Amino acid sequence: ERGISPQMTEHGDMRWISDDPDLWRKNSYGEEIRNQLSPHFNKKEFNQKSEPLDSTTFDVSPELVNRLETLRTLIGNKPIIITSGYRSPQYNRRVGGVSKSKHILGEAADIMVNGMTSTQLEEYAKKVGFAFTQTYKNKPHLHVDVGKR
């Protein structure tokens, strides 16, 4: 991918760094911030769907993004659709999320892949090492998270 490369942080996390100006924007203080989290995921995908937030007001766990990238590779580089990512506590309550949801911490995502059932996707997600996975009866998505249990 043009302009994106992995870099290790001082905390040992893998971050994706871009020199492509289209993948950066400025916050209200004029500071550049990165919206592209990895080669295949950007912050907008993790934002609340019906009540989007300014991307400077929430974080997405680098471990979650890295595991999603690994999952994408494992399933043959098929695009992963994030149906729910970060949620504010208020939004989480409105959508019926549990009170200690990992979505509130930016450590969870509900995902789906066209052409795969949530059960099929879960088999691969477990191999990637997500801390928790859950399918839902009569729903097409899979919940994955990296939060400590």
pLDDT of residue 2: 46
- Examine the pLDDT at 68 and tell me if it is beyond 90: yes
3-state secondary structure of 50: coil
Residues 6 or more apart whose CB falls under 8 angstroms from that of 137 comprise none
Give tens-digit pLDDT for 13-31.
555 555 554 445 554 555 4
Confidence of residue 1 (pLDDT cuts 50, 70, 90): very low
Confidence of residue 101 (pLDDT cuts 50, 70, 90): very high
Average pLDDT score over residue span 76-96: 96
128: left (phi over 0), alpha (psi -120 to 50) or beta: alpha
pLDDT of residue 8: 56
